[in-house]
Structure 1
Amino acid sequence: MVSFAVTTPIIIGIITDHLEIGLALCFGAIWCSPSDVSGRLKHKQVGILYASLLVVIVSFIGGYLKNLGFFLFPILGLLTFSISFISVYGFRASLISFSGLLALVLSFAHTTQTLTNLEHALLIGLGGIWYLCLSTLWFYINPKAQTEEAIIKTILQTADFIDTRKQIIGDKLNRGRLQSSLINLQSELAEQHVTLREILLLSRRSSGKSNYKNRRLMVFSQLVEILETANANPVNYDKMDEFFETHPKIKTKFQNLISELSLQLRTIAKNLKHTHKFSSNKLLSKAFNGLQNEILRFKNESSFKDYERYLMLQNFLDYQKKQFEKLKKIKWLLGNPELSSEDYQDNNKLKRFIEIRDYNPKLIIRNFSFRSTIFKHALRLSVAVMFGYAIGLLFDFQNPYWIILTIIIIMRPSYGLTKTRSKDRMIGTLIGAVLATGLVFVINNPYIFGAFGIISLVVAFSMVQKNYKASATFITLSIILIYAILEPNIFKVIQFRVLDTLIGAIISYSTMRWLWPAWSITEISENIKNSLEANTAFFKSIRNFYQNKGPVPTSLKVNRKEAYLQMSNLSSAFQRMAQEPESKQNHLDDIYELVVINHSCLTSLASLSTYVQNNQTSKASEDFISISERIIENLDQTYTMLKAINFKDSEINKPIFKLEAYEFPKNLITSDSILQTNNERTHKEAHLVWEQLYWLNSLSEKMLKLTSKFSH
């Protein structure tokens, strides 16, 4: 759609001999297109409208900047800061901000011939409205496209997560690397869940009860449950490793079963609208029966002391059976069954899963300080833009605005992303320049240059999110080929294009490194604290449900969502920190351990949550209550310590904090021994609950000891 929106005005402009009007409309469409991201239609429309309004104002002001002499620089800096500061209102606002910054930079490139400055600015705004109309029309032509795309992406990411979990089983050598990969995948899935949740829930509220939306909402619900169950692990890895070393055949059968679950998810994603192409359930049924027989054989051939291992295997197999049930339900839902009124979910409950964005003007005031990452980024960007343009004028570069265009595109609030984009931008520009040079030697036709230039621009836009280096290559190729139509000395264009990009990348990296840097170390304790708080709330919900029974409360699911979301934020914060200079990575190993412990807690909580929601459970014992209180006490104490910690300044204390002695009970479900009943279901429950509480208690103690090293 972006390609059509961009090329149509140019083609019409050429045909009607009004190319300048066509280019203005084209630029308006390009600059407003970043705001067209997944989400509710109303949000997309408002975002594009605001972007259109912003680019009109900025283009109008920018048209006079070149004539201001010395006053150009303070006004340029003020405009850059103001536009960039809009990002405090969230992701979509940051895209609107980016549109405004692009309009500001490229207003330097506009040399009017037939249009006044006001006419040019208004036409740019009209180009934005043209794009808005196309986007809205496309939505009504294919209203399901966005939902289907988001669901397919979620299914594929869930399959990736399951594949990684499969690899962790019995793989001690690579477990650390796989664990890091798992945390990153979970972070990506949590972000994708936020997007899909907004698409499904907000559009559902505006469109009423729709069978299609409800079916997709129920599919999404099953995908969330699949993620939680995939996270679940009936025991710690040490016990599984010990067993699988002596029984590799059972390990292989488990891995094959999980692989088939993942493969069937991928098949569903590939054939979302063609249910007859879904894999047969018989394949999984056969795999389950084979594994079940193998586990029973182990039970019959083993001594009584191996009964606990049998329970471990049965619980692990039960988790995979739950996955199979959810997979079958997804297939059924995608077959477009008619839903009864009981299948529709209460909108008031669904509202609790949506995070409402705060657009209060006071947010600007609250972020107007050096404590705000966005404030420092906006200030840093404005200085870099002024300095870059000054360099371009001082050395009389052909197009000095190319320098600040590079700065605008490269610079991001985080150091790691800015560094990566600087490198990719330079490499992509060099590759694009080499390809353009080769084409110039072979071709000498302006129409072919124009055609290749437009094609390259379309490819660049399609790859900007997937492969920034390739996108930079095609952007460079496009710009050089388009300029080749106007500039006879094409090699001079290539030379300045490369030089401007290199200077812009160096300025971006340098200012990010030394000018009001925002290091993650200053915020990481807040992310750890938030994740710990969310895990604690999730555990309390599980404990209350296990004690009180009854219908699964919405609060448990909301707390689960928040726990995964905060874990995602913590993972992202640590990734940013790991990409920063070593001198800014204080206590990296300890912080990473806290990240892993939080993730392990969430995994254990997922195990408990999945079990208690999907199985009939016994009455909670006094031991269960006392151990739960002990774990919560440890987590709360850790949270209190974290509130006073700043890892940037903290030093490790000695001696290390010592916990008071605690004797962990041997039995949780009843006061009698587990062997006094022949009820295998009770045995499995006792084993799983005891294992998870034992693991959670050890994790809470470990986190408490680790955190105490930094408390004063």
Structure 2
Amino acid sequence: MDLISKHAKELLEFFKSTSFSKAVLVSFAVTTPIILGIATNHLEIGLALCFGAIWCSPSDVSGRLKHKQIGILYSSLLVVIVSFIGGYLKDLNYFLFPILGLLTFSIAFISIYGFRASLISFSGLLALVLSFANTTNTLENYTYALLIGLGGIWYLLLSTLWFYINPKAQTEEAIIKTILLTADFIDIRKQIIGEQANRQNLQTSLINLQSELAEQHVSLREILLLSRRSSGKSNYKNRRLMVFSQLVEILETANANPVNYDKMDVFFEMHPETKKKFQNLIAELSYQLRTIAKNLNQTNEFSSNKILSDAFNSLEKDILEFKNENNFEEYERYLMLQNFLDYQKKQFEKLKKIKWLLGNPELSTEDYHDNNKLKRFIEIRDYNPKIILRNFSFRSTIFKHSLRLSVAVMLGYAIGLLFDFQNPYWIILTIIIIMRPSYGLTKTRSKDRMIGTLIGAVLATCSVFIINDPYIFGALGVLSLVIAFSMVQKNYKASATFITLSVILIYAILEPNIFQVIQFRVIDTLIGAAISYSTMRLIWPAWSIAEISDNIKDSLQANITFFKSISNFYQKKGEVPTSLKINRKEAFLQMSNLSSAFQRMAQEPESKQKHIDEIYELVVLNHSCLTSLASLSTYTQNNKTSKASKDFILIAEHIIKNLEKACAMIKDVNFNDSEINKSIFIPEPYDFPKNLITSDSILKSDNELTHKEAHLVWEQLYWLHSLSEKMLKLTFKFSR
């Protein structure tokens, strides 16, 4: 029963998701013109409007309403131009293939302007491919193109109307997803406590999840900040913005660790009961976050704070037993545990703040964030035409992808004509849908597309044997279309299954020989997938190894900048500067980019994974560095700290110097060509100061807060120094 209940809840959540509502919206936008066209004996007009709506729908993604509207408008304009040109392509004879290739390249190259531009590009490519479909015999070419543009406007109106009907939907869903991912992150951090046989796997999962969270933060930041700027000081938006701010702080604190893992491992091995209590405490924090996500607007369903309060009280009593100022080793362990517990208390405070904010309190003017500060967190997309010239090179991944795609499209269409396939444009449609700039994603989508098409063909064949009613075919076709659109992002294989089923069922209404349609649909898809994979593998391949050194350098440079901000703040004190938070955001974002680049590399052929162990170590070192910086950042921002000592300033400068040296060396590394340097790296001699807690000035103080600060800061500096030397040794291996 529990399993049934779980799946029923998941199904209900799916029906409530924006993916499903958008799928219903797209299906309504597509089917309404067709039904009206049939009813008024103007089916060709209905089909043109239908195509315009479906081609422009990819630009309807989460974000500010104005950006969505502009994206759909640009898609409409592009599909009008492409459809008009495409209407004359079949009459060009020998010039068909070079012009087809040029158009494909030009449209695909629009993607250099970012994610939303890539969706507009995709709309244009769909319009180009389906201009071969011969959907009209009576409409003039320009009339057909304009009607397609009108279909895009029709979808824009529906999308805008739906946004105003349910304006909070995308915000709520993005908040819930961020909360759940944060809870997952905390769960993995809980598992890493104490020595683990699978720590490396957990560390990899942690890095990957942090990458996903960073991307989610970018999306949610755009939704909240840009819409807030346009709608003014909305109480709802400000409350959600403050919730998001707390979630960012929770992620940073979850990354924080008061000492390196080795010391924690030794202690928890000797005291497994304390380890278990900490794990239970962190598990409860994660559970309460999930409860908040599940009942976002039902605060009466939130978990009681008393459970966590009792857990903290129990741990505090246990930790006090280790307080022995006459035994330095015992006292140091006490400080380590107390600092670790303080981090969890900070999480509890942020959790309580989220619960309070979701209770819809009235915010005062002081609670509102400064717009001038907030806009610094948003990346402004540069649409300078010079970007085209900068990317017109084989160093550009998009340039190579556009060339590769144009070759694949010409080859696919040539094969379709050569063997006289029923619908040769299905081959190039498959290519357009499958091919992506990265090898791993193209390979995965090729496999999923083929499997999904085969499953869809089998289901369609069974349906045709059982059902003969065209109205049932139409209803099932529309239902399959809704499911297909709603599953595109979640499960591409399932989406391919239902899109195949939908296409075949709709064709079954119009085409008497439906089994021939099924046969060609399968063959065309298999050929398109094979061409996509082959061209990705053989023609101007863009292997991640060629760019991963840049990703490592960018992540390392972001960590250096973040460290400098923390050091400056620790020395100067005062109000936390916005620049520190911006540099923190950039460090997490660059770490996300590095993690994504490494994941792409790990999916590529083994022959293209040279030095993968060393590269993975550099990824982990960067992440460990960021974790340590998060520890320092969290502590310095949330605690009153003493005057920065000369030792702190000197050590920080030395660590930054080491990291900058490593950054300079990695800048010139090409892992594809580099050989391991056999020379032994000898680090610059450095007399690292003794543990700050043992210095006379600290020991003479009776202030425990000073002791905790000295212990945490020294541990992080010592750990960062160790990481910087490891990074230097590793990068030296590839220096020339």
TM-score by length of 2: 0.95
Check conservation: 1:621, 1:669, Cα contact below 8 A. no
Of 213, 218, 235 in structure 2, the residue corresponding to residue 211 of structure 1 is: 235
Of 91, 106, 131 in structure 1, the residue corresponding to residue 115 of structure 2 is: 91
Find the residue that maps to 2:677 and give its secondary structure.
Answer: coil
Shift of 1:300: 7.1
Question: Which residue is 1:470 aligned to?
Answer: 494
Q: Does 1:312 align with 2:336?
A: yes
Find the residue that maps to 2:293 and give its secondary structure.
Answer: helix
Question: Which residue is 1:190 aligned to?
Answer: 214
Check conservation: 1:667, 1:673, Cα contact below 8 A. no
Root mean square deviation of aligned Cα? 1.5
Q: Distance in 1 between matches of 2:139 and 2:359?
A: 56
Question: Which residue is 1:13 aligned to?
Answer: 37
Question: Which residue is 2:584 aligned to?
Answer: 560
Check conservation: 2:452, 2:497, Cα contact below 8 A. yes
1:415-445 CA distances to partner (integer Å, 9 max, x unpaired)? 1100111111111111111111111121122
Of 688, 711, 715 in structure 2, the residue corresponding to residue 664 of structure 1 is: 688
Question: Which residue is 2:428 aligned to?
Answer: 404
Find the residue that maps to 1:37 and give its secondary structure.
Answer: coil
Of 407, 411, 431 in structure 2, the residue corresponding to residue 387 of structure 1 is: 411
Q: Distance in 2 between matches of 1:522 and 1:687?
A: 42
Question: Which residue is 2:717 aligned to?
Answer: 693
Find the residue that maps to 1:203 and give its secondary structure.
Answer: helix
Question: Which residue is 1:63 aligned to?
Answer: 87
Check conservation: 1:669, 1:686, Cα contact below 8 A. yes
Structure 2 gaps, min length 5:
1-24
Q: Distance in 1 between matches of 2:610 and 2:645?
A: 44
Q: Distance in 2 between matches of 1:304 and 1:375?
A: 61
1:60-105 CA distances to partner (integer Å, 9 max, x unpaired)? 1112212222211111111100100000000000000000101111
Letter in 1 for 2:424: P
Check conservation: 2:44, 2:135, Cα contact below 8 A. no
Shift of 1:348: 1.4
Question: Which residue is 2:474 aligned to?
Answer: 450
Question: Which residue is 1:589 aligned to?
Answer: 613
Deviates more, 1:640-649 or 1:392-401: 640-649
Q: Distance in 1 between matches of 2:579 and 2:189?
A: 27
Structural mapping, 1:110-509, within 5 Å: 110-299=134-323, 305-509=329-533
Shift of 1:17: 3.1
Find the residue that maps to 1:228 and give its secondary structure.
Answer: helix
Closer/same/farther in 2, CA of residues 275 and 257 from structure 1, 3 Å limit: same
1:168-202 CA distances to partner (integer Å, 9 max, x unpaired)? 11252111111111111111111111111111111
Q: Distance in 1 between matches of 2:38 and 2:332?
A: 78
Find the residue that maps to 2:682 and give its secondary structure.
Answer: coil
Find the residue that maps to 1:665 and give its secondary structure.
Answer: coil
Check conservation: 2:665, 2:735, Cα contact below 8 A. yes
Q: Distance in 2 between matches of 1:691 and 1:68?
A: 72
Q: Distance in 2 between matches of 1:93 and 1:487?
A: 37
Q: Distance in 2 between matches of 1:682 and 1:66?
A: 79
Letter in 1 for 2:417: L
Q: Distance in 2 between matches of 1:553 and 1:410?
A: 45
Question: Which residue is 1:540 aligned to?
Answer: 564
Q: Distance in 2 between matches of 1:382 and 1:274?
A: 52
Q: Distance in 1 between matches of 2:512 and 2:250?
A: 60
1:499-534 CA distances to partner (integer Å, 9 max, x unpaired)? 111111110011001100111111111111110000
Letter in 2 for 1:258: I
Question: Which residue is 1:626 aligned to?
Answer: 650
Check conservation: 1:667, 1:674, Cα contact below 8 A. no
Letter in 1 for 2:205: S
Q: Distance in 2 between matches of 1:302 and 1:488?
A: 92
Of 669, 672, 676 in structure 2, the residue corresponding to residue 648 of structure 1 is: 672
Structural mapping, 1:37-52, within 5 Å: 37-52=61-76
Deviates more, 1:114-123 or 1:525-534: 114-123
- Number of aligned positions between the proteins: 712
Q: Distance in 2 between matches of 1:110 and 1:58?
A: 15
Deviates more, 1:639-648 or 1:406-415: 639-648
Shift of 1:277: 1.4
Find the residue that maps to 1:428 and give its secondary structure.
Answer: helix
Closer/same/farther in 2, CA of residues 670 and 130 from structure 1, 3 Å limit: farther
Check conservation: 2:322, 2:331, Cα contact below 8 A. no
Check conservation: 2:693, 2:711, Cα contact below 8 A. no
Q: Distance in 2 between matches of 1:519 and 1:563?
A: 24
Q: Distance in 1 between matches of 2:38 and 2:317?
A: 73
Closer/same/farther in 2, CA of residues 515 and 676 from structure 1, 3 Å limit: same
Check conservation: 1:459, 1:471, Cα contact below 8 A. yes
Find the residue that maps to 1:412 and give its secondary structure.
Answer: coil
Q: Does 1:550 align with 2:574?
A: yes
1:331-388 CA distances to partner (integer Å, 9 max, x unpaired)? 1111111111111222111121111100011111111111111011001000000000
Find the residue that maps to 2:696 and give its secondary structure.
Answer: coil
Check conservation: 1:32, 1:128, Cα contact below 8 A. yes
Q: Distance in 2 between matches of 1:667 and 1:27?
A: 70
Q: Distance in 1 between matches of 2:534 and 2:111?
A: 22
Check conservation: 1:621, 1:671, Cα contact below 8 A. no
Q: Distance in 1 between matches of 2:433 and 2:304?
A: 48
Find the residue that maps to 2:360 and give its secondary structure.
Answer: coil
Question: Which residue is 1:22 aligned to?
Answer: 46
Q: Distance in 1 between matches of 2:26 and 2:259?
A: 50
Closer/same/farther in 2, CA of residues 512 and 302 from structure 1, 3 Å limit: farther
Letter in 2 for 1:257: L
Q: Distance in 1 between matches of 2:449 and 2:651?
A: 54
Letter in 1 for 2:632: L
Q: Distance in 1 between matches of 2:404 and 2:357?
A: 50
Closer/same/farther in 2, CA of residues 111 and 204 from structure 1, 3 Å limit: closer
1:464-489 CA distances to partner (integer Å, 9 max, x unpaired)? 00100111111111111111122222
Question: Which residue is 1:73 aligned to?
Answer: 97
Q: Distance in 2 between matches of 1:79 and 1:47?
A: 20
Q: Distance in 2 between matches of 1:570 and 1:109?
A: 42
Q: Distance in 2 between matches of 1:111 and 1:196?
A: 40
Closer/same/farther in 2, CA of residues 550 and 269 from structure 1, 3 Å limit: same
Shift of 1:302: 11
Shift of 1:652: 1.0
Letter in 2 for 1:188: E
Q: Does 1:579 align with 2:603?
A: yes
Shift of 1:301: 13
Shift of 1:205: 1.7
Shift of 1:595: 0.5
Q: Distance in 1 between matches of 2:441 and 2:425?
A: 23
Find the residue that maps to 2:576 and give its secondary structure.
Answer: coil
Check conservation: 1:620, 1:669, Cα contact below 8 A. no
Letter in 1 for 2:154: W
Question: Which residue is 2:733 aligned to?
Answer: 709
Q: Distance in 1 between matches of 2:339 and 2:198?
A: 25
TM-score by length of 1: 0.98
Q: Distance in 1 between matches of 2:369 and 2:380?
A: 20
Question: Which residue is 2:19 aligned to?
Answer: none
Q: Distance in 1 between matches of 2:50 and 2:483?
A: 16
Deviates more, 1:228-237 or 1:672-681: 672-681
Check conservation: 1:619, 1:669, Cα contact below 8 A. no
Letter in 1 for 2:461: T
Q: Does 1:529 align with 2:553?
A: yes
